[in-house]
Structure 1
């Protein structure tokens, strides 16, 4: 059972309008909306939310109250239940202390109405069943302190499970995924194995509703209560200012046949991000992004398949932008939400991610979220995080937990309206809006020369490290290496982020050598060693510095770097001779 991967990306809209060479950058701004099928903002959705906390954990209520205040959830829709205080609960505890009391509360408080649900059209022999016929709520927010795993129950037997493959005859599950089936619990549904999501891939967000069998569940959680509490604050900040930054996809390259659907899914998600104008980096090496990789200004990260957080993402400080989404596909990515260094979901939240998801037990590849659908719904269609997260789940009553504010909708406003708002406030984030416009045009075949003119004439470029670096990249594509280097040098003076600065220095070190600017190359490598000692690959730097010192007739320094190279290499390794440049 593999996830459904679309055969093709959604059809592109027509080309964006292009400006003339005279102040053409101004006329491109209204065209920002052209690449999007739907952009909307749903104000006042707090009344569609129930907030669930564990009354046995004081911090759980604190997180719940904070969320309710920020999202204006009515007090009558904040519900506490006395539950276990660890990571797991039994099937019996879930049923008796959470599911059934919650069903009663929703009915008694008039938050939904239960009745006879007609059989689906065309289902011969089916009879009406009991279900939710009307509902005032769509979302459930589960707060820090509520267990996230339901333990397997060896005494639970369902005859129909015999038709499942042996590895799927299991009844352990994520609490969130089971709660997503709460509307189905009114009439009963099988607990053994995954339950096919009837709304998988839906393009109409309004269909994601309890009357159609799905409650949109997400949790505010993480290694500590303050991390859980801050998730809604970061979501609201990104709703105001937009979710910006770069999109990183960490694929694996050549994989065995059974894993190819996962690799294909991630690559298609990367292509969709590129077509939507996100600055996209696709890595196809089997290893994770290494520690030395300049992972800068991360708005979106999707990768697989390491057991624990590692490489560039394991650094204590990762440049996650406000509102950032990160997802690493691994069987136990969310098994331990309290850990800061084991698995993925907990460590990602510790490092600043706003929204994420992952399995708490083995889901198998076919039971994992489809990231192509997620990006399409979240970015292109303007779905809320809760809507997009459950539209991309092929199955329910299974293993995925969803973490973050489900109301979070950073792409709810039209891009042109957000751009105008950022401009009116003088926000430096408007540079990212210009960058996205440039990328959208390039993705639709606009000549590079036109986008060079756009950036040259745009006043924001002169104050933005982000746009100046992009202009250098475009000069490079035009075969203008000196102009590219000049722009990258200028970007260094425009307050780049630490990791953007690292990338610029690496670009310049390589470019200076190709341009035979030996002294500039030498000083750039020295700067890299001085300022990024824990990140730069020292053997590479020492080797380059030794060769450059010889070129510059600095024999003492060349000898020093050769000695440092010998020390940096593993014992027994003979360092290659420094090559002449």
Structure 2
């Protein structure tokens, strides 16, 4: 045995955890984030012409304890688009009137602003009992462009921004300002952009945080509520995947900067992170397991691709997934078109997207989103609006706006998992290791930490991490043993694929070609639907050559021919 579990007492283990997580616990404690009793801060909007829209609104109100007098139905179109007039006459103005009548928003006229030559009365929001609005499945998604609408000042706007189409929720976000004249063309500056104090995201500061409980079906929309509450209760656990493009200059580099910034924040806060820095997207063969976070961009045809096209995608309860594309949310009623609908269909709990062309600089700043959500403990709605530099534009926010996955202190959460004997504690241990790796604690100490963890021997998650640490320290025999043991433990399908292939590659690396060949042979038997079997057979052909087994080489070559993927010619 290259490693063994030591029998250690609970007090010793908890002391070690306390030492490793102490600084993070103090940060979380100072935030005082909470998701308790926030139901009163939400107004729920549904389409009165769709039974399932009202049913979803009632379900959300029940689960989040939202008062019945804060649930409003309106006579709305049943499709995803509405005209500007329909938006104003059937949703925007009626909602504003109901909020005022119910005492949920109060306004006061101010004297004309200093410097104005013409007397102008400005009506400002002064009191607000609600901060969020949740639009239920059936409420339209997009406001169509109105080419007949003429406004002063439009001519001074950049030509590509002289447009008045918008996302319904992004336009409603400025509802508290609608008693005063504000332009409909172009994006408007978000006064709360970059906020670090969540309380500033308030209608009294001109913003209503609007999100959608929506998706390809009402069942999927309902699931957004359930999965958010589950993650609040049990924690948001899993891995983080970031798909950058490897840009080093040019105006588009800012998109890469956002993705990489989000990845660095997530890594330092304890998540297992993978960053793809190539221009291509993650391939369909990539073993994307146990997804807590995904953020990436771009795909020129605008259609979902890579691992997200597989029949099963391993989103964890509470997962946030976002793909930046100009038309990622052109529709969200489809499980196959664009990005937002398919991500929701495959199990994501929260996302954002663009309903029309937004242009890169007017899209959400991902680094800010991840920092506010994970580090500062913002709700999904708060993080989504703190990261948007502009409003009255093209971004739609999909998910429970109250969803607050990081309200609990890490130590408290770990203790709760320990008391409940929850298997999820393996993820908390993984977070301990990753936080300390990010703070330059020697990997040898963290290897010892993992060996001391009682859950190690039954945890594929922790065994894989142990193997990775051994490998990075050039302890290849120990790494192999840990990979093999991880592969034997219950795990998700994609993690098992990754661990087995890591084991096979390590065997090749240390010169154990015979055992590597046996591992690949077993792999093709166990994973007949693996999307790159041809790649595995090419490895088997190469290994058969090295082992001087012409019969096996011929057999694997026939499999390659059957798959229609012959070996490339030797150079």
Query: 1:291·1:535 contact (CA, 8 Å) conserved in 2?
Result: no
Shift of 1:167: 0.4
Q: 1:335 aligns with which of 308, 330, 335?
A: 330
Deviation per CA, 1:205-259, whole angstroms, max 9, x where unpaired? 0000000000011110000010001111100000001001101001111366121
Shift of 1:189: 1.2
- RMSD between aligned residues: 2.0
Residue pairs, 1:74-223, within 5 angstroms: 74-116=67-109, 129-223=122-216
* 1:421 is the counterpart of 2:416: yes
Secondary structure at 2:503 match in 1: helix
Aligned to 1:412: 407
Gaps of 5+ in 2: 1-7
In 2, the alpha carbon distance for the partners of 1:86 and 1:359 equals 17
Aligned to 1:32: 21
Shift of 1:25: 4.0
* TM-score, length-scaled by structure 1: 0.92
Shift of 1:466: 0.5
* 1:442 is the counterpart of 2:431: no
Query: 1:323·1:353 contact (CA, 8 Å) conserved in 2?
Result: yes
Aligned to 1:292: 285
Task: Pick which of 281-290 and 544-553 moved more.
Answer: 544-553
Sort the Cα spacing of 1:380 and 1:169 in 2 relative to 1 into closer, same or farther, 3 A. same
Q: 1:527 aligns with which of 522, 533, 538?
A: 522
Shift of 1:22: 12
In 2, the alpha carbon distance for the partners of 1:22 and 1:412 equals 25
* 1:241 is the counterpart of 2:231: no
In 2, the alpha carbon distance for the partners of 1:497 and 1:544 equals 24
Sort the Cα spacing of 1:574 and 1:244 in 2 relative to 1 into closer, same or farther, 3 A. closer
* 1:396 is the counterpart of 2:391: yes
Q: 2:273 aligns with which of 270, 276, 280?
A: 280
In 1, the alpha carbon distance for the partners of 2:88 and 2:325 equals 28
Aligned to 2:244: 251
Aligned to 1:310: 305
In 1, the alpha carbon distance for the partners of 2:254 and 2:105 equals 39
Task: Pick which of 507-516 and 87-96 moved more.
Answer: 507-516
In 1, the alpha carbon distance for the partners of 2:467 and 2:492 equals 17
Aligned to 1:231: 224
Residue pairs, 1:471-486, within 5 angstroms: 471-486=466-481
Secondary structure at 1:449 match in 2: helix
Query: 2:487·2:499 contact (CA, 8 Å) conserved in 1?
Result: yes
Aligned to 2:484: 489
Shift of 1:39: 4.9
* 1:44 is the counterpart of 2:33: no
Deviation per CA, 1:32-83, whole angstroms, max 9, x where unpaired? 2523453522311001110000001111001101100000000111000010
* 1:514 is the counterpart of 2:509: yes
Sort the Cα spacing of 1:300 and 1:136 in 2 relative to 1 into closer, same or farther, 3 A. same
Shift of 1:500: 0.4
Secondary structure at 1:50 match in 2: strand
Task: Pick which of 529-538 and 259-268 moved more.
Answer: 529-538
Deviation per CA, 1:447-502, whole angstroms, max 9, x where unpaired? 11111111111112122111111011111122100100100111112211100000
* 1:461 is the counterpart of 2:456: yes
Query: 1:115·1:131 contact (CA, 8 Å) conserved in 2?
Result: yes
Aligned to 1:542: 537
* 1:378 is the counterpart of 2:373: yes
In 2, the alpha carbon distance for the partners of 1:377 and 1:86 equals 34
Deviation per CA, 1:549-574, whole angstroms, max 9, x where unpaired? 3455543222111222344455xx66
Shift of 1:546: 2.1
Secondary structure at 1:79 match in 2: strand
Task: Pick which of 206-215 and 269-278 moved more.
Answer: 269-278
In 2, the alpha carbon distance for the partners of 1:362 and 1:198 equals 22
* 1:320 is the counterpart of 2:315: yes
Shift of 1:157: 1.0
Query: 1:23·1:457 contact (CA, 8 Å) conserved in 2?
Result: no
Sort the Cα spacing of 1:346 and 1:518 in 2 relative to 1 into closer, same or farther, 3 A. same
Shift of 1:125: 5.1
In 2, the alpha carbon distance for the partners of 1:525 and 1:29 equals 38
Query: 2:538·2:567 contact (CA, 8 Å) conserved in 1?
Result: no
Sort the Cα spacing of 1:256 and 1:535 in 2 relative to 1 into closer, same or farther, 3 A. farther
Secondary structure at 1:249 match in 2: strand
Query: 1:357·1:400 contact (CA, 8 Å) conserved in 2?
Result: yes
In 1, the alpha carbon distance for the partners of 2:396 and 2:122 equals 28
In 2, the alpha carbon distance for the partners of 1:375 and 1:442 equals 20
Count of matched residue positions in the alignment of Structure 1 and Structure 2: 555
Secondary structure at 1:258 match in 2: coil
Query: 1:275·1:440 contact (CA, 8 Å) conserved in 2?
Result: yes
Residue pairs, 1:1-20, within 5 angstroms: none
Aligned to 1:270: 263
Query: 1:529·1:536 contact (CA, 8 Å) conserved in 2?
Result: no
Aligned to 2:555: 560
In 1, the alpha carbon distance for the partners of 2:563 and 2:495 equals 26
Secondary structure at 1:556 match in 2: helix
Secondary structure at 1:159 match in 2: coil
Secondary structure at 1:459 match in 2: coil
In 1, the alpha carbon distance for the partners of 2:568 and 2:35 equals 62
Deviation per CA, 1:290-313, whole angstroms, max 9, x where unpaired? 111100000000000011110111
In 2, the alpha carbon distance for the partners of 1:259 and 1:190 equals 28
Task: Pick which of 505-514 and 60-69 moved more.
Answer: 505-514
In 2, the alpha carbon distance for the partners of 1:527 and 1:377 equals 45
In 1, the alpha carbon distance for the partners of 2:155 and 2:248 equals 32
Shift of 1:263: 1.1
Aligned to 2:5: none
